[in-house]
Amino acid sequence: MFDVIVCGAGPAGSVAATVLARGGARVLLVDRSKFPRDKLCGDTINPGTVAILRRLELFGAIEPMTSRVDGMIVTGEHGVTVRCRYAAGETGCALLRRDFDRVLMGAAVGAGARLEEATIVRGPLVDNTRDGPRVRGVVLAGRDGRDLRVPAPMVIAADGRRSRLAIPLGLTRHPRRPRRWAVGAYFSDVADVSSYGEMHVRRGRYVGIARVPSGLVNVCAVVTGGAGLDNPASMLFAQIARDAPLRERFQRAKSATPPVVLGPLAVDAADAGMPGLLLAGDAAGFIDPMTGDGLRFAVRGGELAGGVVLTAPGGRPYAALRSARQHEFGRKWRFNRTVRRLVDRAATVELAGVAAFTAPWILQRAIRYAGDAS
């Protein structure tokens, strides 16, 4: 008998499982993939996330496979460029997402969680009680083709944007707007890449660039609308080619991996869970990746979910998690929504470019806030 089943062994699920196992809970950690596995991501961790990982004593195993990120470069229309260095003693880092996830998953197993890889979650086990529906466990696809019903007093859904638990229960949905897709790949021989992460913001789209420890460069374009996604390589090169500064830097660049498509990106969550079920990571709501907050929301959200199970085993843990998430993330959610709306409107992109040109400190403060830096 398990005390908690955590579905999804990405950063949110693995951190939740680690917190729970360290607290003495019997944890089953399930993921449909076999690790290590690749996942489309910007591959950067901001200073705030680094601080959380240090506090959880998880960064020591991660640090040797990272490279430093000393700040951010943000460019806009008409040649506007703002460079922001993080404060002294604060750095972010870059590493391959496959390595990050593998280390966090290993930490959960090391803490005592039982891991079942290559295991598909069919859906939740739900009882209809006098007080309404309650999750009592999960249904897993068995090795012999038959479904397995695995009971547990608590389940954490950290199984991503297309959660097999949150969506069927009506806790999350994909909104009609905004409709964005990400297309990313690794490149070699990109010119003028530094220890700074880059975000190139244009009307209705943006391109992120980050150097990773392997010597390659992570390039990810986020676009509105799904036109051209049937040929992601052409789309990614087209996004680079239509921008003169980027086009020049990519003249000698070579694609080292096939492009990967992810989308539509947005996920709205109605609540942090329900009786017997808590949400974490992308299953709790997917944040537009422009501000680089996704991994912080995942890591801290997983920690909050695990902590709530340990401190509020009775009563209404999902209500406690809702309150904790609002307190922790509320201001940043509002900030991200504002930035997202800005990019959606041509006029506001123009105004932001003028503001950044005449008063760059405004954008520098926004960059530091986005990175949870001083």
Return the CATH number at 280.
3.50.50.60
The CA-atom distances, in angstroms, between 99 and each of 36, 38, 102, 159, 214 are: 7, 9, 5, 18, 12
Confirm whether 118 is domain-assigned: yes
Confirm whether 274 is domain-assigned: yes
Confirm whether 188 is domain-assigned: no
Closest CA to 64 of 96, 33, 30: 96
Confirm whether 86 is domain-assigned: no
Confirm whether 248 is domain-assigned: no
Is residue 20 within 8 A of residue 4, CB to CB? The reply is yes
Confirm whether 280 is domain-assigned: yes
Confirm whether 315 is domain-assigned: yes
| Number of compact structural domains in the chain | 1
Residue with tokens 């995942």: 298
Question: Domain range holding 304?
Answer: 4-40+97-175+266-341
Residue by residue, pLDDT tens for the chain (374 residues) are: 899 999 999 999 999 999 999 999 999 999 999 999 999 898 999 999 999 999 999 999 999 999 999 999 888 777 778 888 888 888 999 999 999 999 999 999 999 999 999 999 999 999 988 888 999 999 999 888 889 999 999 999 999 999 999 999 999 988 777 788 899 999 999 999 999 999 898 877 889 999 999 889 999 999 887 777 889 999 999 999 988 889 999 999 999 999 999 888 888 888 999 999 999 999 998 766 666 678 999 999 999 999 999 997 666 899 999 999 999 988 887 777 766 666 555 444 444 555 555 555 555 666 665 656 65
Confirm whether 326 is domain-assigned: yes
